[in-house]
């Protein structure tokens, strides 16, 4: 992995591999999304990857609980939260969020970033059904809503947002970087700040 592209995407020379590089959120977008969580006490980062969102969330919330099922990803996250000097605000837990949720204490917000990559080399080839994501985003939402209504779910840019009509009241934000569509964020509860549909376009 070329250090220059890691710094361009994430803002620092963080520890990533091919997968976590592609999955990770660009630092300018991550920061803008994390600002919606300002004032929250405890945020669950349900699928932490190399910890890029956990690092942004840690700037704005009291505490982040970051879970990932892949030990290699979690090890990268451990190094990266240290590089970002936020280790004291991020608790890292290795395992399946669907299991860990049962024993998790109180949270007042959650960022859900399930894996939507399809097998193969085409990194833009995404699953387009909540139930096909890993972990299944429909079941994850159901379990999370028992803990908090203040939720953000990240979804692929080609996702049919009409499929979300049956979910509780929400705002779907389409996120662009330099005018290029990147993904959607679906906000619930107090994280909703706009009408049902909104756009975020950040210039790098």
Ligand X SMILES: C[S@@+](CC[C@H](N)C(=O)[O-])C[C@H]1O[C@@H](n2cnc3c(N)ncnc32)[C@H](O)[C@@H]1O
Q: Is 70 in the site for ligand X (CB under 6 A)?
A: yes
Query: Does the footprint of ligand X cover residue 43 (CB under 6 A)?
Result: no
Q: Do the Cβ atoms of 171 and 190 come closer than 8 Å?
A: no
**Closer to ligand X by Cβ: residue 7 or 196:** 7
Of the candidate spans 63-71, 102-110, 159-167, 172-180, the one that interacts with ligand X by CB under 6 A turns out to be: 63-71
181 or 196, CB closer to ligand X? 181
Instruction: State which of residues 31, 68, 171, 173 lies at the interface with ligand X (CB under 6 A).
Output: 68
Closest residue by Cα to residue 59 from 21, 33, 92, 20: 33
Q: Contact at 8 Å (CB) between 147 and 104?
A: yes
Q: Is the dihedral of CA 42, 140, 129, 115 positive or negative?
A: positive
The stretch near ligand X (CB under 6 A) out of 31-39, 62-70, 123-131, 168-176 is 62-70
The owner of tokens 């290795």 is 94
* Backbone φ, ψ for residue 20 (5° rounding): -70, -25
Residues 152 to 171: which contact ligand X by CB under 6 A?
A: none
Residue 20: count other Cβ atoms within 10 Å of its Cβ. Answer: 24
Q: Which of 17, 85, 88, 134 binds ligand X (CB under 6 A)?
A: 134
Asked whether position 37 contacts ligand X by CB under 6 A, the answer is no
Find the helix packing angle between 27-34 and 52-60, rounded to 10°: 40
Range in contact with ligand X (rule: CB under 6 A) among 18-26, 82-90, 122-130, 190-198: 18-26
Contact positions vs ligand X (CB under 6 A): 23-25, 47-50, 52-53, 67-70, 73, 96-98, 113, 115, 134-135
């Amino acid at each position: 992995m070329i250090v220059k592209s890691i710094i361009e995407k994430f803002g620092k020379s963080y520890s990533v591999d091919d997968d976590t590089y592609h999955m990770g959120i660009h630092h300018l977008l991550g920061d803008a999304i994390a600002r919606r969580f300002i004032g929250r006490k405890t945020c669950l980062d349900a699928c932490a990857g190399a910890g890029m969102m956990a690092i942004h969330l840690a700037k704005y919330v009291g505490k982040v609980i970051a879970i990932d099922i892949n030990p290699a990803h979690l090890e990268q996250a451990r190094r990266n939260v240290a590089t970002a000097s936020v280790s004291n605000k991020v608790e890292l837990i290795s395992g399946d969020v669907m299991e860990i949720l049962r024993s998790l204490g109180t949270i007042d917000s959650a960022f859900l970033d399930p894996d939507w990559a399809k097998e193969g080399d085409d990194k833009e080839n995404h699953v387009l059904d909540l139930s096909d994501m890993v972990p299944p985003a429909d079941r994850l939402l159901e379990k999370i809503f028992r803990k908090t209504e203040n939720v953000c779910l990240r979804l692929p840019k080609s996702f049919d947002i009409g499929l979300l009509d049956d979910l509780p009241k929400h705002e779907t934000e389409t996120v662009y970087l330099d005018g290029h569509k990147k993904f959607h964020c679906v906000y619930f509860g107090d994280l909703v700040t706009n009408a049902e549909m909104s756009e975020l376009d950040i210039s790098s």
